Amino acid sequence: MKRMAEGRNPRLSRLNWVFTSDPIYFVTACTARRQRILAGPDIYHAFLEFTQRATTLNVYVGRYVLMPDHLHLFVAFGPKSQGLSDWVKSLKNSLSKTLRAQGIAAPHWQKDFFDHMLRTRESYHQKWDYVVQNPVRAGLVKSAKDWPFQGEVHALETRRA
């Protein structure tokens, strides 16, 4: 078996860059039965308040898009912060509280969510370029910049070019 000079198996050599100390995650969460309940001012404001409060827990949301039946966001966790699953559960619970106040009965969310750990700056920008076009592809707006339920809470940056 080939070995690298420092004795590490070459097949495992990329692990030091896959498992970074401060990864950025790309997260997608969908509503139950793909209900169109997320793209509205009350949910949008509740989402922004939740993501801004998250900084007190060392959780930082970057870019995001709220679609009628799902959301996409980028998130990074600082030291001693809660884990991704717990944080997404808290986000869903927070938004569900707003939905219940609007008279929308539960369940509001699919049980699981999709996440992907980004590995490069290019990946972040490529994923964002795709995600930001979702409202256009869905026929909701003619230009991505016209979709009111998107933005950036914190500027996140990957460490590798």
Write out pLDDT tens, residues 116-152. 999 877 788 899 999 999 999 999 999 999 999 999 9
Mean pLDDT of 18-29: 78
CATH superfamily of 21-152: Transposase IS200-like (3.30.70.1290)
Of the pLDDT bands very low, low, confident and very high (cuts 50, 70, 90), residue 21 is low
What pLDDT sits at residue 104? 97
> Cα separations (Å) of 140 from 39, 97, 134?
11, 26, 9
Indicate the pTM of the whole model: 0.83
| DSSP H or E stretch at residue 140 | none
pLDDT greater than 90 at residue 161: no
Report how far residue 66's alpha carbon sits from residue 56's, in angstroms, rounded to the nearest whole number. Answer: 23
Report how far residue 143's alpha carbon sits from residue 42's, in angstroms, rounded to the nearest whole number. Answer: 23
Mean pLDDT of 77-104: 94
What pLDDT sits at residue 109? 98
Nearest to 66 by CA among 137, 132, 145, 160: 132
What pLDDT sits at residue 120? 78
What pLDDT sits at residue 23? 86
Answer yes or no: are the C-beta atoms of 11 and 145 closer than 8 Å.
no
Answer yes or no: are the C-beta atoms of 71 and 64 closer than 8 Å.
yes
